[in-house]
Amino acid sequence: MDARIKSPAAIIPEAMPAIQDLLKATRNQGVPDSTLELVHLRASQINGCSFCVDYGVRNARRSGVADEKLFTVAAWREAPYFSDEERAALALTEAATRLSDRGDAVPDDIWDAAAGHFDERGLAALTLMIGITNMFNRINVATRQPAGVPAW
């Protein structure tokens, strides 16, 4: 598989520092890096972004995510490996990624479950990570960025 074009961030390198700064801002806000990586991976699976799934698994491993979680994140509801905090983050990820699947895209029960585990800064970090990941997914899927190939 070949990309349609280089990554837009490679074509317009002025965009990369802002994207990197936004990603860095999600860190150290009360959400473990491993949870942020699971969020990235799950959104990328939903959106069918092979580049981000591949990249996400590699980053998740570097963040200490166990293989059992990586193998089952697509079925996290039925898998025994996830903490209640991770489950709340993954439920929020799915709702905020699948916006058109229901009238109330992110219902109160899902938001409230996440708010039961994360403070306002943590919720902000999760929401930013979900949004950034969806942006990456849409860019990489539209331009057909292949998995395993450096994008920039």
Question: How many distinct structural domains can be found in the chain?
Answer: 1
Is there a domain that residue 131 lies in?
Answer: yes
pLDDT score recorded for residue 150: 67
The 3 state secondary structure assigned to 36-66 is: HHHHHHHHHHHHCCHHHHHHHHHHHHHCCCC
pLDDT band at 135, cuts 50/70/90? very high
Is there a domain that residue 119 lies in?
Answer: yes
Tokens of 42: 């799950």
The predicted-structure confidence for 6-60, as pLDDT tens digits, reads as follows 999 899 999 999 999 999 999 999 999 999 999 999 999 999 999 999 999 999 9
The predicted-structure confidence for 69-126, as pLDDT tens digits, reads as follows 999 999 999 999 999 999 999 999 999 999 999 999 999 999 999 999 999 999 999 9
Is there a domain that residue 18 lies in?
Answer: no
Instruction: Assess whether pLDDT exceeds 60 at residue 151.
Output: no
Is there a domain that residue 11 lies in?
Answer: no
CATH number at residue 91: 1.20.1290.10
Is there a domain that residue 20 lies in?
Answer: no
pLDDT band at 1, cuts 50/70/90? confident
Q: Which domain holds residue 83?
A: 30-142
